[in-house]
Amino acid sequence: MKKILLVLSFVLMTMTVRAKTLVVYYSYTNNVHDIVTELTRQIAADVVRIEPAEKGLDYAANNYAIGSAQISAIRNNPNDASSYPAIDPVDVDPADYDCIIIGAPLWWSNMAAPLQTYLFQNGSKMAGKKIGLIVSSASSGISGVENDAKRLIPDGDFLTPSLWIRSSQTSNASSMIESWLELTGYDITTVAPNILDESNNTNQTVFTIDGVVAGNDAYSLETLKRGLYVIGGKKIYVSK
Ligand SMILES: Cc1cc2nc3c(=O)[nH]c(=O)nc-3n(C[C@H](O)[C@H](O)[C@H](O)COP(=O)(O)O)c2cc1C
């Protein structure tokens, strides 16, 4: 009776970044907005755009004076809530997500002030979560923004590297995001398989992960060595 069926149970799931993702971003001149639009063509995610409470500010006027003043206030007193510009309420709880991708414009080598406000208020709810950082700047390097993210989300599990897209590269965001997702392992489930039954062999193996069928595929046991597989449409890294 026995169908030739080989069941592998992947008991230890060490990482599932595929799960639920929130993208949080701020954008003044819409470069980060365009980047996030492209990102959400490639991944399933809920998206929140941070908005300053004070409307109509011209952050670029007088050599970016307002943005400069906001960044200075934060630099001078980073632990004081009153250093951060007010933002509109956000009704999404980061605690509901496994992965949070932050889309940040760079202002004076730092993360744009309104986004810092959001993370100052919510970063502690992101402890242990996968955190991806995408930064847009005209030309300045992004290490200051990375430091802000780590200060504001001290217990985040950061995907590395961050993705830096210069404003002049915004139209190339699609391929840059695709490579970055691959590089960070965003979409890859890593499993250490516990093989329950290897007495039968077949070209149609049923794979289960945490008791859930991941899919059927044409891998035989012999081929399932350490490495990256696409099983049932999912990228799965087998780490035995
Ligand atoms: C207040 C302010 C300060 C900025 N400071 C810098 C800077 O120091 N270095 C830099 O390369 N770009 C700087 N920029 C440019 C932005 O980082 C860049 O235009 C980015 O693409 C903006 O993203 P957005 O269009 O999503 O707002 C600054 C922009 C603003 C508004």
Task: Report whether pLDDT(9) > 60.
Answer: no
Residue 98 reports pLDDT greater than 50: yes
User: How high is the pLDDT of residue 188?
Assistant: 63
Tokens, residue 188: 């890859």
Q: Measured from the CB, is residue 85 less than 6 Å from ligand 1?
A: no
Nearest-CA residue for ligand 1 atom 9 is: 140
Kindly give the distance from the C-alpha atom of residue 201 to the centroid of ligand 1, in angstroms, as a whole number: 58
Q: Which domains does the chain have, with CATH numbers?
A: 7-15+187-238 (no CATH), 20-173 (3.40.50.360)
Confidence at 7, pLDDT banded by 50, 70, 90: very low
Residues 6+ apart with CB under 8 A from 182: none
Determine the pLDDT at residue 17.
35
The confidence score (pLDDT) of residue 183 equals: 87
> How far, in Å, CA of 19 to CA of 221, rounded?
27
- 70 vs 135: CA distance, rounded Å: 18
Considering only CA atoms, which of 95, 106, 182 is closest in space to residue 146?
106
Residue 193 CA to ligand 1 centre (angstroms): 46
| Distance (Å) from CA 200 to ligand 1 centroid | 60
pLDDT at 34 over 90: yes
pLDDT in tens, 65-75: 999 999 999 99
CA of 112 to the centre of ligand 1 (A): 8
What is the average pLDDT value for the chain, to the nearest integer?
82
Q: Which atom of ligand 1 is nearest to the CA of 103?
A: 26
Q: Which of 74, 108, 148, 165 to mutate to test the pocket of ligand 1 (most atoms within 8 A of CB)?
A: 108
168-226 confidence digits (pLDDT tens): 999 999 999 989 998 888 866 665 554 333 334 455 566 665 555 555 565 655 565 66
Burial 34-63 (b: 16+ CB within 10 A, else e): bbbebbbeebebebbebebeeeeeebeeee
Do residues 3 and 177 make contact, with C-beta atoms less than 8 angstroms apart?
no
pLDDT at residue 200, as a whole number: 42
What's the average model confidence in pLDDT over 70-95? Answer: 97
Q: Bigger pLDDT: 229 or 91?
A: 91
pTM for the full predicted model: 0.79
Q: Is 121's C-beta closer than 6 angstroms to any atom of ligand 1?
A: no
